[in-house]
Amino acid sequence: MSKTVVVTGAAGFIGRNTVAALNERGLENLLLVDALGTDDKWRNLVGLRFADLLDRSDFLGLTKSRKLTDIDAVIHLGACSSTTERDAGFLLENNYRYTRLLCEWCLEENIRFIYASSAATYGDGSHGYSDDDASTTTLEPLNMYGYSKHMFDLWALRSGLFNRIVGLKYFNVFGPHEDHKDDMRSVVNKAFHQIFAGDQVTLFKSYRPEIADGEQKRDFIYVKDAVNVTLHFLEQRSVGGLFNCGTGVARTWKDLATAVFSALGLQTDIKFIHMPETLRSKYQYFTEAEVKKLRKVSGYTAEYTTLEDGIRDYCQNYLLMRYPSLEHIAPNLAR
């Protein structure tokens, strides 16, 4: 039997899609790790093929006791991903300390370690979006979630580990199997459900005079592309480093909402709403990944799915399949 690949956060959004992609590549000797809790996140595991499933605390205990053997790689995607989480101690323990313990175990056991960082580490973007090591030390995250991710990036950098491990700064990922994320779902998913309910799609107003409502920009990446980048480093074992996982092309929220309506064959209908005051000082008006390091250093050559194509695939081949009774809003596309 081949060695085992571990995927943490396996029932989560990117985790679930990563496991499915590994299955498509013929890999089934997988150890999935997650804290399933009492919600319906477990449904993301249905249909996946894997060897075993462990709670995150049980998995950590096995690593500490050195009872896990024949592990080939750990793809560490498990974390608290809420940008509005205010429990700093929880984020410190869950996103920094846990990641560090897993990394140290992998290094001791010569196990490939790939982990999720975040574009939230870039803060307001005033220091740019370069994933070069020299730029990493200058970054100032706007929230504790981003800082908890940044702490591990800095620790790995100071420890000289990026020649052996890989960190991925995921930008705005959207796609299938994110329904369990509640308010942290992508705006694509939220917009679809607003349309399904017969409502307008709501976007935040801009609070900068030079930027019109809906013209705030993000680097949106389809989850299939984010997974392809992730698994690229499972194959390219000689490559290490901290890399952006985005498309390198910023698009507006208005572009995104328009693409959702277009995918459903509908006229665009957007309403701009006030942003909560608690978010205004922490809001990113622009993100765009620099991807030359990913291209040149790691050798990743695949083309990215366009925003319109990704949203069309997501809406028509996933969301509409789950909500077939759409005659009242999209009669030409209803399944």
Residue 82 binned pLDDT confidence (cut-offs 50, 70, 90): confident
Same-domain check for residues 125 and 268: no
* 115 in a structural domain: yes
3-state secondary structure of 302: coil
Same-domain check for residues 136 and 207: no
How crowded is the C-beta side of 51, counted as CA atoms within 13 Å? 14
Instruction: Identify the active-site residue in 181, 207, 283, 285.
Output: 181
What is the 8-class DSSP label of residue 333?
T
* 315 in a structural domain: yes
Instruction: Identify the active-site residue in 96, 145, 170, 300.
Output: 145
* 226 in a structural domain: yes
* 299 in a structural domain: no
| CATH code of the domain covering residue 258 | 3.90.25.10
* 332 in a structural domain: no
DSSP string, 20-33: HHHHHTT---EEEE
- Confirm whether 67 is a catalytic residue: no
Same-domain check for residues 213 and 92: no
Same-domain check for residues 280 and 225: no
The pair of three-digit structure tokens given for residue 11, joined into one six-digit string = 């029932």
* 334 in a structural domain: no
Number of domains the chain contains? 2
Same-domain check for residues 308 and 185: yes
Same-domain check for residues 104 and 157: yes
Same-domain check for residues 165 and 16: yes
| CATH code of the domain covering residue 65 | 3.40.50.720
pLDDT at residue number 187: 97
* 138 in a structural domain: yes
Same-domain check for residues 160 and 196: no
Q: How far apart are CA 6 and CA 68, in angstroms?
A: 11
Same-domain check for residues 69 and 93: yes
**pTM for the whole thing?**
0.94
Residue 335 binned pLDDT confidence (cut-offs 50, 70, 90): very low
Same-domain check for residues 183 and 310: yes
Same-domain check for residues 133 and 42: yes
Same-domain check for residues 312 and 263: yes
Is 334 a residue whose pLDDT tops 50?
no
* 330 in a structural domain: no
Give pLDDT tens digits for 5-28: 999 999 999 999 999 999 999 999
Q: What is the mean pLDDT of residues 130-152?
A: 95
- Confirm whether 207 is a catalytic residue: no
Residues of the chain with pLDDT > 90, as a percent, come to 81
Residue 110 binned pLDDT confidence (cut-offs 50, 70, 90): very high
Do strands 201-204 and 217-218 pair parallel, antiparallel, or not at all (unpaired)? unpaired
The parent domain of residue 210 ranges over 175-218+249-286+304-322
pLDDT at residue number 279: 85
Classify residue 279 by burial, with Cβ atoms within 10 Å: 0-12, 13-18, 19+: middle
Residues of the chain with pLDDT > 70, as a percent, come to 96
Q: How far apart are CA 62 and CA 43, in angstroms?
A: 25
Is 324 a residue whose pLDDT tops 90?
no
